[in-house]
Structure 1
Amino acid sequence: MRLHNRVFLLLGGTGGIGQAMVGPLVEAGARVIIASRHPEKLAHREGVSPVHLDLAAADLDGQLQRLSDAYPDIDGVIHCAGQNRFASLEHMTVAELDAQMTVNLRSAMLVARHFVPLFEKAGSGALVFVGSTFGSIGFPGYTAYCATKFGLRGFSEALRRELADTPVQVVYVAPRATATDMNPQAVNELNRALGNTMDAPEAVAAQILQAMEKDDQRRFLGWPEKLFVVLNGILPRMVDKAMLKQLPVIRRFLKPEALSGS
């Protein structure tokens, strides 16, 4: 996939991995349209256009239509927006469950539904979905997040196969734990207690761009996480046993007082 002279709509570009992708995309010769609920707060930058888009809005489909009318030259979409909360299911509110399903999965489906016919008509186009290792491995404390990321992985796989005889590319990249502001202190401490490596957003962004340039259909990041993905698919009981051993540590950080930082 070429990056030079391409126009990418970047969803989730105001923080974390998405924000780390902006500079490299511009340096590669791409124009970046950053979607945000508050585009007026984004600093001016050459090659970057902030636009309003609310991925959780009921009228997202209409917003996408207005956006593509204003920017008809968009020929790539990078979806790395996400909602998350580390908590046991019983402590999740309905609003928190809905937010994760809406932003992590529904918005990706509506974005693809809108742009696929435009890209097919144009004769080229790319959809890049940033998932997670937790889209392949269920992890305690992330039930809702895992459900939405499992869904995103399945959606992108089915969509890729549905579009296999078209010029539209579909790429899925699954990072492991990443050091972003989305992680509360308890999650950072949990990762340290379990010995989990946390990648810098810049390193993950570089891997995503590399996957795009090499026309990878899917890429899983990190070792041994990518091994666990394979094991979980063919020997899930082995991963069950490993998780059971970790569960006392995980439960310690799942306590409400640990999550509140008190």
Structure 2
Amino acid sequence: MKLHDRVFLLLGGSGGIGQALIAPLTAAGAQVIVASRRPEQLSLSQGVTTARLDLAADDLDAQLESLSQERPDIDGVIHCAGQNQFAALASLSVEDLDAQIAVNLRSAMLVGRHFAERFVSAGKGDLVFVGSTFGSIGYPGYTAYCATKFGLRGFTEALRRELADTPVQVLHVAPRATITAMNPESVNAMNQALGNTMDQPATVADQILAAMRQDRSRRLLGWPEKLFAVINGVLPKVVDRALKKQLPVIRRYMGTGVSS
């Protein structure tokens, strides 16, 4: 996948991994359009443009259609928007669940649905979806988030196979824990207590771009997390036992159950 002379629509570019992607994309010669609910509040480098999109809106499909008419030059999409809440399932409201499903999964499916057809008709285009290690490993305190990220992984795999005889590429990249504003301090403290490594957004952004340049269809980031994902797929009871040992610490930081 080449980056030079490309026009990428970046979803989730106002912070974290998405924001860290902007500079290397432009340095590689790509144009970047950062989508946001409130683009007027963004402070971006010169040459980076914005678009108004609300990924949780009921009319997202109509918004995408309008954007396509305004920017027919878009030939790549990077979806790295996301929401999560570190909490026991019982403490999540219906609104909490709906918000994560809407942003993490529904928006990705609508984006894929809209641009895949357009890119196939154009004979070129690339779709990049940033998931999570928690799309391969169910983790306590992240039931809703894991459900959406498992769904995203399945969606991208099916879409990639559906488009296998077209020029359109579909890439799924799954980072491990990353230091972003999306994570509350309790998550950072838990990861420190458990000895889990957290990557900087710039590190993850570099790995995403490397996967794009290498035409990778899927990539798990981080060691030993990528090994745990493989083990979880073939020997889930091994991971069950490992996480059960961690459960008292996890419960302490998600504010429910026993403490250690």
Q: State TM-score, norm by structure 2.
A: 0.98
- The answer on whether the counterparts of 2:180 and 2:201 sit within 8 Å (CA) in structure 1 is yes
Give the distance between the partners of 1:202 and 1:102, measured in 2 at CA: 26
- The answer on whether the counterparts of 1:30 and 1:47 sit within 8 Å (CA) in structure 2 is no
Give the distance between the partners of 2:129 and 2:168, measured in 1 at CA: 13
Task: Return the offset for 1:47.
Answer: 2.6
Equivalent residue, structure 1, for 2:146: 146
Equivalent residue, structure 1, for 2:180: 180
Deviations 1:56-109 (A, max 9, x none): 000000000010100000000000000100000000011110000000000000
The amino acid that maps onto 2:133 is T
Aligned pairs for 1:208-247 within 5 A: 208-247=208-247
Task: Return the offset for 1:44.
Answer: 4.7
Give the distance between the partners of 2:236 and 2:256, measured in 1 at CA: 29
Give the distance between the partners of 2:9 and 2:115, measured in 1 at CA: 11
Secondary structure of the equivalent of 1:166?
A: coil
Give the distance between the partners of 1:164 and 1:157, measured in 2 at CA: 10
Equivalent residue, structure 1, for 2:193: 193
* Stretch moving more, 149-158 or 35-44: 35-44
The amino acid that maps onto 2:146 is C
Give the distance between the partners of 1:130 and 1:199, measured in 2 at CA: 15
Give the distance between the partners of 1:167 and 1:47, measured in 2 at CA: 28
> Which residues of structure 2 form unaligned runs of 5+?
none
The amino acid that maps onto 1:182 is M
- The answer on whether the counterparts of 2:11 and 2:35 sit within 8 Å (CA) in structure 1 is yes
Equivalent residue, structure 1, for 2:108: 108
* Stretch moving more, 135-144 or 39-48: 39-48
Give the distance between the partners of 1:132 and 1:43, measured in 2 at CA: 27
Structure 2 residue 128 is matched with structure 1 residue 90: no
Secondary structure of the equivalent of 1:81?
A: coil
Structure 2 residue 122 is matched with structure 1 residue 122: yes
Task: Return the offset for 1:256.
Answer: 5.9
The amino acid that maps onto 1:236 is P
Equivalent residue, structure 1, for 2:157: 157
Secondary structure of the equivalent of 1:144?
A: helix
Deviations 1:99-141 (A, max 9, x none): 0000000000000111111101111000000000000000000
Give the distance between the partners of 1:106 and 1:67, measured in 2 at CA: 18
Give the distance between the partners of 1:176 and 1:233, measured in 2 at CA: 17
Equivalent residue, structure 2, for 1:47: 47
The amino acid that maps onto 1:200 is Q
Distance 1:195 1:24, change over 3 A: same
Give the distance between the partners of 1:56 and 1:256, measured in 2 at CA: 29
RMSD: 1.0
Equivalent residue, structure 2, for 1:11: 11
Deviations 1:176-229 (A, max 9, x none): 000000110100000001000000000000000000000000010000000000
The number of aligned residues is: 257
Give the distance between the partners of 1:62 and 1:89, measured in 2 at CA: 33
Give the distance between the partners of 2:150 and 2:41, measured in 1 at CA: 32
- The answer on whether the counterparts of 2:88 and 2:256 sit within 8 Å (CA) in structure 1 is no
Secondary structure of the equivalent of 1:104?
A: helix
Secondary structure of the equivalent of 1:171?
A: strand
Give the distance between the partners of 1:249 and 1:41, measured in 2 at CA: 38
Give the distance between the partners of 1:75 and 1:47, measured in 2 at CA: 17
Give the distance between the partners of 1:232 and 1:160, measured in 2 at CA: 23
Equivalent residue, structure 1, for 2:20: 20
Give the distance between the partners of 2:133 and 2:119, measured in 1 at CA: 29
Structure 2 residue 133 is matched with structure 1 residue 133: yes
Task: Return the offset for 1:160.
Answer: 0.3
Give the distance between the partners of 2:35 and 2:238, measured in 1 at CA: 41
Q: State TM-score, norm by structure 1.
A: 0.97
Aligned pairs for 1:64-75 within 5 A: 64-75=64-75
